[in-house]
């Protein structure tokens, strides 16, 4: 890494690491893990990988690169991250979460070095921009950028909210601030893998919607501690989008992204992304909700049993203690 003029002026070495642990959750991430760890090791004193029984060599690669690797069975993202915070023996002043298919850009590495060594005492966490790349194309429009997410916080000052999808880091103390630079989300798996993964996401988001309608008690409702952008998006989703007719709202959302928010300017790869993630995925979520309700009506079972039969998801009574069973 070449140092910027400001780095030299401020006396911050390009190789300087701060009192930071980066937590990475993995399952079969051999294709991504070296890029991810190589990125965060430039700024973090410790890298903690919590693996969910990978079979592709992820753990071996992470260990070879100097990460501390723990293994814990998967429940959902929120449960896994909070388990890492509770059982990972994290002793640094700061903690950061990053997905295995993400990496830090140059500006964010420099921003973390500066902010975490000289932040005000009342700052509890930092938001960073999450930059999405799809088939090599940066997605700049359609409401996808900038996407501010809380990713770094003082140890013990935040938790991950217990949700099946759309989970966020929630600050329990202090105020949030923003850092320059981006966490770059660039998945290198095939489009087939991407669609299969989003099919799983759709089942999980369908559970969130059914919980809202039927009161399953499996999703945590957080009213304080979210960053402003996350709070606004969730308010629009719950107070506007969810009130629109099932099956119609994905088309309205697609029009909003592509036309009103100029997603069409993202080029051919961008249009593929907006169509798949903004229309196909959202329509799939609604279709899964409709399927569960169809099973309830035609098979005479309650919503929990219908979720199990239709989606292969077995619900337990308490939040963040859910298990997923593959359909036979």
171 close to 231: Cβ distance less than 8 angstroms: no
Q: What is the 3-state secondary structure (H, E, C) of 57-109?
A: CHHHHHHHCCCEEEECCCCCHHHHHHHHHHHCCCCCCEEEECCCCEEECHHHH
3-state secondary structure of 246: coil
Query: Radius of gyration of the chain from Cα atoms?
Result: 20
Distance, CA of 301 to CA of 295 (rounded, Å): 7
Q: What is the pLDDT of residues 37-61, one digit of tens each?
A: 999 999 999 999 999 999 999 999 9
First to last CA, the chain: 50
Tokens coding 223:
């009213």
Q: What is the pLDDT of residues 272-309, one digit of tens each?
A: 999 999 999 999 999 999 999 999 999 999 999 999 99
Give me the tens of pLDDT residue by residue for the chain, a chain 328 residues long: 333 344 444 556 667 899 999 999 999 999 999 999 999 999 999 999 999 999 999 999 999 999 999 999 998 899 999 999 999 999 999 999 999 999 999 999 999 999 999 999 999 999 999 999 999 999 999 999 999 999 999 999 999 998 888 899 999 999 999 999 999 999 999 999 999 999 999 999 999 999 999 998 887 777 688 899 999 999 999 999 999 999 999 999 999 999 999 999 999 999 999 999 999 999 999 999 999 999 999 999 999 999 999 999 988 754 443 333 333 3
- Structural domains for the chain: 5-186 (3.90.550.10), 191-324 (no CATH)
- How high is the pLDDT of residue 14? 67
Which has the closest alpha carbon to 34: 45, 21, 49, 44? 49
pTM metric for this prediction? 0.89
Distance, CA of 250 to CA of 256 (rounded, Å): 10
149 close to 127: Cβ distance less than 8 angstroms: yes
């Amino acid at each position: 890494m070449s140092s910027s003029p400001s780095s030299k002026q401020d006396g911050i070495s390009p190789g300087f690491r701060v009192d930071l642990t980066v937590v990475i959750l993995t399952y079969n991430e051999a294709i991504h893990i070296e890029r991810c760890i190589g990125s965060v090791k430039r700024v973090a004193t410790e890298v903690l990988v919590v693996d969910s029984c990978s079979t592709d060599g992820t753990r071996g690669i992470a260990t070879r690169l100097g990460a501390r690797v723990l293994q814990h069975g998967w429940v959902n993202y929120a449960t896994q991250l909070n388990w890492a915070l509770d059982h990972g023996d994290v002793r640094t002043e700061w903690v950061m979460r990053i997905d295995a298919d993400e990496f830090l850009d140059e500006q964010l590495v420099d921003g973390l070095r500066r902010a975490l060594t000289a932040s005000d005492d009342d700052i509890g966490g930092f938001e960073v921009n999450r930059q999405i790349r799809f088939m090599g194309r940066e997605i700049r429009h359609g409401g996808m950028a900038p996407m501010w997410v809380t990713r770094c916080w003082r140890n013990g000052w935040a938790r991950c909210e217990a949700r099946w999808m759309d989970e966020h880091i929630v600050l329990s103390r202090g105020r949030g601030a923003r850092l320059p630079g981006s966490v770059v989300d660039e998945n290198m798996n095939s489009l087939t893998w991407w669609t299969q993964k989003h099919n799983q996401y759709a089942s999980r988001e369908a559970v969130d919607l059914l919980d809202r309608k039927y009161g399953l008690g499996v999703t945590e409702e957080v009213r304080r501690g979210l960053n402003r952008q996350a709070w606004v998006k969730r308010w629009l989703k719950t107070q506007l989008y969810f009130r629109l007719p099932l099956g119609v709202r994905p088309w309205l959302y697609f029009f909003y992204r592509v036309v009103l928010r100029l997603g069409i300017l993202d080029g051919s790869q961008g249009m593929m992304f907006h169509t798949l993630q903004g229309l196909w995925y959202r329509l799939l979520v609604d279709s899964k909700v409709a399927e569960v309700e169809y099973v309830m009506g035609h098979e005479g079972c309650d919503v929990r049993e219908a979720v199990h039969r239709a989606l292969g998801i077995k619900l337990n009574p308490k939040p963040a203690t859910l298990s997923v069973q593959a359909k036979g």
